């Protein structure tokens, strides 16, 4: 979607500790090289990192919050934090994408716990019976149905399922993001899918199967 950060790199955001930007040694990747340059104050490197990750940060926040404006705010704030804490990153520890997903998820959960009025978008009416129009309506119905079912899941199950459908994350990565064990993630995914099956029991078979296969 190509979000552009509203405030330049010198935004004054809350600091995070070096431990929050780290855990387990591993080979350096392109993000680490950019982060080393960012640590030296190179704004071009920061812009490159933002361009690489802003869409995925926004997409994850949108799946959790179901609010485009809130998701944009979260993506912006989290990425600006990278600049404001640029001296804290330790190359070779946590992958940047893992840190990003963890911080985005936590920020979203904080926002999601606030009282809010949920609105479900109505499915648009078909103009004609053309295959493309029918397919568009079908996809919209699937999305709306799934959103409502996901919203009824316990928080940890919902987050585990959302992460499992984000960039094909492995269970080990989800565990690191959620701060838990692989076994706990497997249990959350299994129970979440079982509850989705129950919630979607009246839906068409292909809609159920799309998101509830083990």
Query: pLDDT (tens digit, 9 = 90+) per residue, 1-51?
Result: 556 566 545 433 333 333 444 444 545 678 999 999 999 999 999 999 999
DSSP state of 122: P
Residue 112 pLDDT > 50: yes
Average pLDDT, whole number, for the chain?
Answer: 78
Is residue 72 within 8 Å of 58, Cβ to Cβ? yes
For residue 155, give the nearest of 180, 183, 135 by alpha carbon: 180
Three-state secondary structure call for residue 75:
helix
Identify the pLDDT of residue 166: 73
Is there a contact between 144 and 152 (Cβ–Cβ < 8 Å)? no
What pLDDT does 20 receive?
Answer: 45
Is the model's pLDDT at 121 over the cut of 50? no
Q: Which residue has the higher pLDDT, 34 or 145?
A: 34
- Counting residues of the chain whose pLDDT is more than 70, the rounded percentage is 68
Q: Measured between alpha carbons, how far is 176 from 63 in angstroms, rounded to an integer?
A: 19
Cα 55 from Cα 126, distance rounded (Å)? 30
In this model, does residue 145 exceed pLDDT 60?
A: yes
Instruction: Report residue 194's pLDDT band, with 50, 70 and 90 as the boundaries.
Output: very high
Distance CA 209, CA 206 (A): 5
Domains and CATH numbers, the chain: 19-112 (1.10.1740.10), 131-212 (1.10.10.10)
pLDDT of residue 29: 75
Note the pLDDT of residue 127.
43
Residue 173: enclosing H or E segment and its boundaries? helix 171-178
Nearest to 53 by CA among 100, 114, 90, 6: 100
Q: What distance in Å separates the CA atoms of residue 22 and residue 99, rounded to the nearest whole number?
A: 8
What is the mean pLDDT of the segment spanning 68-88?
Answer: 94
Highest mean pLDDT among 88-97, 106-115, 126-135, 167-176 belongs to: 167-176
Neighbours of 76 (CB within 10 A): 21
Cα–Cα distance measured from residue 133 to residue 127, given in angstroms and rounded to the nearest whole number? 7
Give the per-residue pLDDT at 124.
43
């Amino acid at each position: 979607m190509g979000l552009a950060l509203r405030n330049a790199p010198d935004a004054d955001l809350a600091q995070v500790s070096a431990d929050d930007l780290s855990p387990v040694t591993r080979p350096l990747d392109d993000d680490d090289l950019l982060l080393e340059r960012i640590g030296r104050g190179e704004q071009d490197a920061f812009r490159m990192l933002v361009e690489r990750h802003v869409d995925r940060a926004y997409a994850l926040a949108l799946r959790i919050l179901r609010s485009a404006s809130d998701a944009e705010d979260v993506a912006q704030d989290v990425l600006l934090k990278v600049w404001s804490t640029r001296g804290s990153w330790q190359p070779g520890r946590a992958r940047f994408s893992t840190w990003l997903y963890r911080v985005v998820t936590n920020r979203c959960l904080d926002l999601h716990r606030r009282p809010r009025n949920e609105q479900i978008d109505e499915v648009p009416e078909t103009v004609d019976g053309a295959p493309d129009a029918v397919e568009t309506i079908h996809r919209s119905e699937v999305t709306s149905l799934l959103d409502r079912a996901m919203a009824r899941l316990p928080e940890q199950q919902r987050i585990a399922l959302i992460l499992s459908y984000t960039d094909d994350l492995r269970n080990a990565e989800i565990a690191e993001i959620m701060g838990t064990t692989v076994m706990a993630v497997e249990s959350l995914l299994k129970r979440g899918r079982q509850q989705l099956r129950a919630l979607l029991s009246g839906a068409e078979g292909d809609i159920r199967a799309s998101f509830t296969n083990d």
